[in-house]
Amino acid sequence: MGLLKDWKEKRKLKRYMKKTPEQEYEIYKKRLLRGESEESARAGLKHLKKK
């Protein structure tokens, strides 16, 4: 079961790694509008980690 879970996590992260900074900022704004915390909204977005 652990291998399948790890595979899914890596696959999910690859999708975020292909995003441009502009696309990541759009994701970040949508997450904030949904009510997530700022730290949670930045999770997984490599271009927005340093602010």
Instruction: Kindly report the pTM of this predicted structure.
Output: 0.59
1-51 pLDDT, tens digit each: 578 888 888 887 777 677 788 888 898 999 999 999 988 888 877 777 655
Distances 49 to 5, 13, 40, 43 between C-alpha atoms, Å: 25, 15, 11, 8
Quote the tokens at residue 3. Answer: 């291998």
What one-letter code names the amino acid at 11? Answer: R
Token pair 């704004």 is at which residue?
29
- What pLDDT, on the 0 to 100 scale, is given for residue 50? 53
Q: What is the pLDDT of residue 7?
A: 85
